[in-house]
Chains A and B, each alone.
Chain A
Amino acid sequence: MHAKYLIAGALAALMVSGTAQAHRQWMLPSSTTLSGTESWVTVDAAVSNDLFYFEHVPMRTDNIAVTQPDGSPGKIENAATGKYRSTFDVHLTQAGTYRIASVSTAVMGSYTLNGEVKRLPRGITKDNMAAAIPAGATNVQTSEATNRNEIFLTLGAPTTTIFKPTGVGIEMVPVTHPNDLVSGESATFQFLLDGKPADGLKITVIPGGIRYRDALGQQDLVTDKDGKLSINWPQPGMFWLNASIGGRREGSEDAGPPQRRASYVTTLEVLAP
């Protein structure tokens, strides 16, 4: 238990601080395209430098939620956390597209008390924010950091019910279904920030298997005014996609109110034609 909290703490620190840029959080499903009337998928979840290797810390699983094709909640099973990775299984029993997501929102901020600027402690949410700010505090500045890490699995034909945006953080709305990606065909996705098209959002796409090649093969893309972008898949495989905004380092002395922070991660499987 103790170790679990340590890991959770370390992860929370990674996710909210600038150091997260050195590491990549990801979930890697054993399969994304499935046939039959039911199927199991196992997922590895970790934070690492290289994709998709287990060499840093596991991703915690207690915040992972499954949404079934009909919109009802599913569950993760057999969750286990080791030194470098977590694993869990998902039993697909409905035809259509599932979402497996870890979404978290943290509030960061500062206030002035007795002439001294103090930062809000970690782990603050909208709900417990009021209690964390002492009476007499002035110049209270807060901002939300929303992190979304999600993957998609499809049993049978792809469906789109699960893509209804929540309006919080960075979200991806497919034009091309994320479980219908084939190398040699470009895919189009729309990105939203707090429910509105994310104009000029920087997106990074990196193919897995970094350890066995010299070049990172990173694509740096920017969304258009509608929040849309097209991605070309140079080869089949698993790709890591990441977007984040407001990456100011915690503890920096920047003036002005805290920025809106949000990050988005997904792993996409691109099949051979």
Chain B
Amino acid sequence: MHHGYKLILGSGAALGAATIPASAQTLNVSVTIPRLPVAEYHRPYVAIWLEKEGSSPRTLSVWYDVDKAKGEGAKWLRDIRQWWRVSGRSMTLPADGITGATRAPGEQKVAFTAGKGPLGRLTPGNYTLVVEAAREVGGRELLRLPFSWPAKPGATLRAKGSTELGAVSLSVGK
């Protein structure tokens, strides 16, 4: 489970303190989905988004039942309720490069490149990376990781959930 963090730290350390243009930087997000000893397990719906005061929240990733017939999986997106309120409900779903299938328990890693895809260009300022998970017949949990941009390469933030989310980390890499 902790193997992934070593990798993240490793890549960060490799970059050292070199100044890297913001456009080339990446946000490496690691989300651990806990293995839950429950009778009826469904993989959680997970949304990862970025908030900055004075700007519209930016959805980076949404994992849900994208392949269900007639888009039925979208019915439960509102259960990721904070994400649904701040961003999801005004999006067209599924969204290219953002939505994808639910993921299995264990460590799940996603990387976002500044200037590209859902992350886009980041103006300097204070941001919060938010990870929210909601599970069918289960609970919901949300974690916040505040950081400032531009961030020092190698900088890593961590949070740990207690129910529907395990360890969540954000590291800045190239």
Report the separation of the CA atoms of residues A35 and B74 in the bound assembly, to the nearest whole angstrom.
6
Q: Do the beta carbons of A39 and B89 come within 8 Å of each other?
A: no
Contacts of B84 in A (CB 8 A): 33, 35
Contacts of B75 in A (CB 8 A): 34-36, 39
Select the residue from B72, B78, B84, B90 with max chain A CB neighbours within 10 A.
Answer: B78
Residue A37 contacts which of B71, B78, B88, B90 (CB distance < 8 angstroms)? Answer: B71
Using CB atoms, name the residue of chain B closest to A180: B85
Contacts of A156 in B (CB 8 A): 89-90
Residue-by-residue, is A241-255 near B (CB-CB < 8 Å gives 1, otherwise 0)?
A: 000000000000000
Q: Do the beta carbons of A33 and B82 come within 8 Å of each other?
A: no
Interface size class of A (residues with CB under 8 A): 10 to 19
B103 within 8 A of A: no
Contacts of A10 in B (CB 8 A): none
Q: Do the beta carbons of A36 and B81 come within 8 Å of each other?
A: no
B76 within 8 A of A: yes
Report the separation of the CA atoms of residues A127 and B81 in the bound assembly, to the nearest whole angstrom.
48
Report the separation of the CA atoms of residues A36 and B89 in the bound assembly, to the nearest whole angstrom.
9
Q: Do the beta carbons of B78 and A33 come within 8 Å of each other?
A: yes
Contacts of A272 in B (CB 8 A): 81
B167 within 8 A of A: no
Q: Do the beta carbons of A34 and B78 come within 8 Å of each other?
A: yes
Mark A residues whose CB is within 8 Å of B: 33-37, 39, 154, 156-158, 180, 182, 271-273
Mark B residues whose CB is within 8 Å of A: 71-72, 74-78, 81-82, 84-85, 88-90, 93
CB-defined A-B contacts under 8 Å, sample of 12: A33-B78, A33-B81, A33-B84, A33-B89, A35-B84, A35-B89, A39-B75, A156-B89, A157-B89, A158-B89, A271-B85, A273-B82
- 20 more CB-based (< 8 A) A-B contacts, given A37-B71, A271-B85: A33-B78, A33-B81, A33-B84, A34-B75, A35-B77, A35-B84, A35-B88, A35-B89, A36-B71, A36-B72, A36-B74, A36-B75, A36-B77, A37-B74, A154-B89, A156-B89, A157-B89, A157-B90, A180-B85, A182-B85
The 8 closest A-B pairs by CB, nearest first: A36-B74, A35-B77, A35-B78, A36-B75, A157-B90, A157-B89, A33-B78, A156-B89
